Amino acid sequence: MADVPLARHLLRAKDLADARYFEALTVADLASAAGLSPAYFSREFRRAFGESPHQYLLTRRLERAAALLRTTDRTVTEICFAVGLSSLGSFTTSFRRVYRSTPMSYRASFPPPESMIRIPACVAKAYGRPANRTFREVSDERVPVPSRSSTPDPSQEVMP
């Protein structure tokens, strides 16, 4: 049997973050899924995927929170806990840093869920995850938001 690339083990950790972000997952849990020690795991994960496991998990949670803000009417507090975060203050701070707006104003900038484009959930999840940001960044680029120029048309529905 061929040697399994290290990246295949790292991918198990990434899959775990994607699948169970709503639980109280830690970097140690992710390292365990990859079968590696936490310090070695974090270094190799960053090398393979270009960001730390903590950043990946946080941006996955923020992506899911953004999706819930766009597509449901659940409260910000409910959404914070629903994506596995335990501090509303940290959630709001992280959300503002990444999306450059508060959760409430982000929600208000979107039309009702009925007008969202129809794409497979896995595609939305993969492409919708934001890049992590710091407050120190000088760039004032807006975070790309899904285009809403087309109106839903059942005949153009994308099948997964």
Partner 1 sequence: MKIGNAQFWVHDQDEALAFYTQKLGWEVRSDVTMDEWNFRWLVVGPVGQADVGLVLMPVPGPPMLDATSSEQLGELVAKGAGGTLFITTDDCQATYDELSARGVVFNDPPTPQPYGIDTSFRDPSGNNVRVTQVMEFSYERG
Q: Where on the chain is the footprint of partner 1 (CB under 8 A)? A: 1-2, 4-8, 10-11, 14-15, 18-19, 48-49, 71, 113-114, 118, 120-122, 154, 157, 159-160
Smaller CB distance to partner 1: residue 114 or 141? 114
The tokens for 19 are 């699948």
Least gap, CB of 65 to partner 1 (angstroms): 16
Residue 68 CB, nearest approach to partner 1 (Å)? 12
DSSP state of 38: H
Q: How far, in Å, CA of 55 to CA of 40, rounded? A: 16
Q: Minimum Å distance from CB 125 to partner 1? A: 10
Among 19, 26, 8, 12, CA closest to 125: 19
Q: Measured from the CB of residue 6, what is the shortest distance to partner 1 in angstroms?
A: 8
Q: Which two tokens stand for residue 74?
A: 């659940």
Please name the residue that has the structure tokens 């590696």.
36
Virtual CA dihedral for 55, 137, 110, 94, nearest 10 degrees?
A: 40
Q: Which of 19, 104 has the CB closer to partner 1?
A: 19
